[in-house]
Structure 1
């Protein structure tokens, strides 16, 4: 078992078109929406992520792992795992995967509570979903951990 994470953490809500990013501090447990990354190709997206990694100097990365409601995996689950492995390969930081099944509902309810609707909501929804993923990580831990070796299935 690896020790509990400390320090700055960046979390990602991976989507094929947009990637929501949130930042938080593991010791304090406070999480903030940070950015939405998009671009015509993966290289553009990873360059934007590299800027955030340089700026925030995270100790670890968290990626939401989408599954069906019953927990079974689908194509976006596979793509999210691939994204997490690429993050590790590029930035050499530990990657934690967190079950994100409730993150979109959580994000929508937070935004409704803040009276953010319509087009304005769409622009921040991915960031707030990443915020929900990171809060879930701080509150409940990771579903899986990756430090360069293939993760074991439990």
Structure 2
């Protein structure tokens, strides 16, 4: 199945991988090609993420991923933090490393929602710690898919829309 693109160049069909980027762990979730169901995929180490291009290229091949969504931490007042800048750097790197479109999407409350879902499901504290980032990525992906349906267009912003903070400095 060939993926079609919207006016921004983001694929309108095919599997999307959502990334909940953290300084220790990276949660990954993936949806089906029709973007109806999403599932937690795995938790991957964030240590030396700049050296992990092969991991993401293998993920693309194994799961037929056409695009990525990376959670962007935003304060309640809409402001951004140092963590937001790190997520933007990661998303830009991911786009360049994989050649896939990467969309940044507001991740407010995804970890809290994931924690609530896991508590209701009866996860033990130890199992919850191992899986929380993948479930947070699932919440992010579900929110992104729903926002796209509601708006009738791709939600969020491209990882390549803004230059890097240190780009262009001498």
TM-score by length of 2: 0.80
- Flag structure 1 segments of 5+ consecutive residues without an equivalent: none
* Corresponding residue pairs, total: 150
Post-superposition Cα deviations, 1:86-114, rounded to whole Å, max 9, x if no partner, equal 11001111111111002111101110111
Structure 2 residue 122 is matched with structure 1 residue 115:
yes
State the SS of the aligned residue for 1:95: strand
User: Which one has a bigger Cα radius of gyration?
Assistant: 2
Cα–Cα, structure 1 residues 39 and 71, in superposed 2: closer, same or farther, change >3 Å? closer
RMSD (Å), alpha carbons: 1.9
Does structure 1 retain, via aligned residues, the 8 Å contact 2:40–2:138? Answer: yes
Name which structure has the greater RCO, CA cutoff 8 Å, separation 6+: 1
Matched residues in 2 for 1:28 and 1:40: separation? Answer: 30
Matched residues in 2 for 1:61 and 1:139: separation? Answer: 15
Give the alignment partner of residue 126 of structure 1, picking from 120, 133, 155: 133
Does structure 1 retain, via aligned residues, the 8 Å contact 2:26–2:133? Answer: yes
Matched residues in 2 for 1:116 and 1:11: separation? Answer: 22
Structure 2 residue 157 is matched with structure 1 residue 150:
no
- Flag structure 2 segments of 5+ consecutive residues without an equivalent: 1-6, 149-154, 164-170
Structure 1 position 44, deviation (Å):
4.9
State the SS of the aligned residue for 1:59: strand
